[in-house]
């Protein structure tokens, strides 16, 4: 499974856009990129998943360059409640099958007032 590298921590202010970049140099052809958010003493919460280019949903955008060796999670206009650890994971998706994801160290995002 591809190893991921993220910044250990980031600080931001309320209302700002936050971009968290993850490196995954040895990503394989079948690998998808998934981002999770985790609050203390809670299970990770799915944010967004993509394979290439750009994916957007109601909470975030995911930018993936053509070489797919990195990805950037973009959180628009963060609030204090977005303070959490964000994990970037890379794993294989087989149709109708599950493969485990390997968690990296994650990025502690702290949103300041």
Partner 1 sequence: GAVVSQHPSRVICKSGTSVKIECRSLDFQATTMFWYRQFPKQSLMLMATSNEGSKATYEQGVEKDKFLINHASLTLSTLTVTSAHPEDSSFYICSTMGTSGGTDTQYFGPGTRLTVL
Binding site for partner 1 (CB under 8 A): 32, 34, 36, 41-46, 49, 51, 57, 87, 93, 95-98, 100-106
* DSSP β-ladder status, 18-23 and 70-75: antiparallel
In whole angstroms, give the CA distance from residue 68 to residue 90: 11
Is the Cβ of residue 15 or residue 54 nearer to partner 1 in the bound state? 54
Minimum CB separation of residue 15 from partner 1 in Å reads 28
Minimum CB separation of residue 19 from partner 1 in Å reads 21
Minimum CB separation of residue 93 from partner 1 in Å reads 6
**24-41 burial, b if ≥16 CB within 10 A, otherwise e?**
beebeeebbbbbbbbeee
């Amino acid at each position: 499974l591809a190893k991921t590298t993220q910044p250990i921590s980031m600080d931001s202010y309320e209302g700002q856009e936050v971009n968290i970049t993850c490196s995954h140099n040895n990503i394989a052809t079948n690998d998808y990129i998934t981002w999770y958010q985790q609050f203390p003493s809670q299970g990770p919460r799915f944010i967004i998943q993509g394979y290439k280019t750009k994916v957007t949903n109601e909470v975030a955008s995911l930018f993936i360059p053509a070489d797919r060796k990195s990805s950037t999670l973009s959180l628009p206009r963060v609030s204090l409640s977005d303070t959490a650890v964000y994990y970037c994971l890379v794993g294989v998706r087989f149709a109708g099958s599950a493969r485990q994801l390997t968690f990296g160290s994650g990025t502690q995002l702290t949103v300041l007032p």
